[in-house]
Structure formats: structure tokens, C-alpha cells
Chain A
Amino acid sequence: MEFRREDSGTVSAMFEPIEVDLLRNVTSQLLQMLGSVDADDAAMLAQPAIRRLLPDAYPNDPEAAEEFRRFTADGLLEGKLANATTVLAALGDDEPADASADASLDAPAHDPLPVPIVLTEQQVQSWLRTLTDLRLVLADRLQIDPHGTPQLDDEQAHVVNDVYNWLGMMQESLVYAIDA
């Protein structure tokens, strides 16, 4: 997966089907998480992952920070939800179960073909932000320290870390594609 800018101004990349599934999976989880956030629920907003998505604007003034959050949290959450929805939409529908059953009857088994992902300038903006949000949430899960080293050490840490780095590569590739 490497994004390139087309002459038409769109940015495109070929994704392996497994990459599409993976991105769809984590983005759906992000959507669910964002959708469950109640901007009036102080305890929920205090959770580290949520706090990183909606940081304190006034670190030394809790009252002003609270007021800032009251005025901005809903809008920021809405934006993040819309961005993640845009990412999901560009990944296409999940393959319907009956269609793949039909295919397996007629066609011999073969490696699934790469999927072209084509993004408009506006979609790229949503992708960049959602990739950031995904990485912020995963970084919390991985307990990434200030030097960028994950402190999480359980059986899933490796897989989560791979996904985290993969999302970073995807974002970098997008930035270079639109910056070029």
C-alpha cells in the first residue's frame, strides 16, 4: 500500500484485501468508541484515550479547561465521527456472505486481488485525521512512553504494535502523496 497522487488530483493506493479488512475493523471500533462518548460525562472524558482525543486546552486552569470542553467537545467528536465514517465509506461494503459463496462454487480458489482505494482531496483530510485518532487510541493501549516505546507487554502487544506502525506508514504515505 503506497499512496500516489494522480493527475486528476485524487490520491490512490492498492490495498491488499486483508489491509482493507484490518482498516475497516479498527475504524469501526473507533466509530463505536467515539459514538459512546458522552461529552457531559466527566468520568468518561477523564479516560486517558478520550483525554488524548480531547485534551485540556488550559492545563493550569481547570475551570477554563472545563468551559472550553463544554463549547468544543461535541463539535470535535462530531468531526471525528464524520471522518471515521468517510474512511469506512471509501473502503467499500463488507463483502456479502452469499456473493463469496457463489464465487467459490464457480471459480477456483485464488488469491484475492488488491483493491484500489481512490481518495479525493477532501477524503484525504478525513483519512489523515482518522489515522491520527486511531494511533492516539492505540498508543494509549500500547502504553507508549514519551520516547515512543511501547510499555505494554502482553501476548497482543506485538500485533497491536504492528497495526500502530502500519497506520503510521499509511499516514506518512498519504502526507507525502499530497505534499509532493
Chain B
Amino acid sequence: MPQIDESTRVREAISLDRPWVTVVWDDPVNLMSYVAYVFRSYFGVTAAEAERLMLQVHNNGRAIVATGDRESMERHVEAMHGYGLWATLDRAEE
């Protein structure tokens, strides 16, 4: 059926456009106060959101702090490395 073909194609297109994510990992060195400060000052999120992300890093071992195209995520990762945070980029999970 043509409709199925169409929806498959759309799904593939979406999958090709699957965004990238910036991941910040927990490390035993960086202080919680500093990590929250970096999120707030670099990503411009509220203090509460920065705290939430920082705790997610601390408790879950990692947090996705940004989603978007690959170039932007590379820019974020580079900035995080400038701050001394352990950041990587990856494809967003489906």
C-alpha cells in the first residue's frame, strides 16, 4: 500500500535527521556548585534547571544538557571541555 511506503519513508527521513545530544558525565573532581554554575552561565538556564541537570549528572552518572544539530553540539562539547567538564556528543536515542 502506498500509504505504508510513504510512512516508512517519512520515518527514515526522521531517523536520518535524528538530532545529536550533548552529554555531560559525572566525574569525581568537579564540584557540584561549579557544575551547576557552568550550566546556568553557559546554557542560560534558570538556577533551578541548572541544579536539576547537575543532580542528574551526579545521581545518574550523566545528563543530556542540549539537543540539536551536530555542529552546535560539537560547539557545546568544546565549551564544556573549556570549563573542564567531561562532555561527549552522541546521536539522540530513538
A binding-site residues for B, Cβ under 8 Å = 52-60, 68, 72, 75-76, 79-80, 128-129, 132-133, 135-136, 139, 144-148, 168, 171-172, 175-176, 178-179
Min distance, Cβ B19 to any Cβ of chain A, angstroms: 16
Q: Are B31 and A129 in contact (CB under 8 A)?
A: no
Closest 7 CB pairs of A and B: A132-B84, A148-B28, A139-B29, A175-B33, A72-B78, A57-B77, A175-B37
B binding-site residues for A, Cβ under 8 Å = 28-31, 33-34, 37, 74, 77-78, 81-84, 86-90
Per DSSP, chain A at the interface is helix
Using CB atoms, name the residue of chain B closest to A179. B37
Cβ contacts under 8 Å, A146 to chain B: 28
Subset of 5 A-B contacts with CB under 8 Å: A53-B81, A55-B88, A58-B90, A72-B74, A128-B37
Cβ contacts under 8 Å, A57 to chain B: 74, 77-78, 81, 87-89
Q: Are B88 and A176 in contact (CB under 8 A)?
A: no
Min distance, Cβ A51 to any Cβ of chain B, angstroms: 10
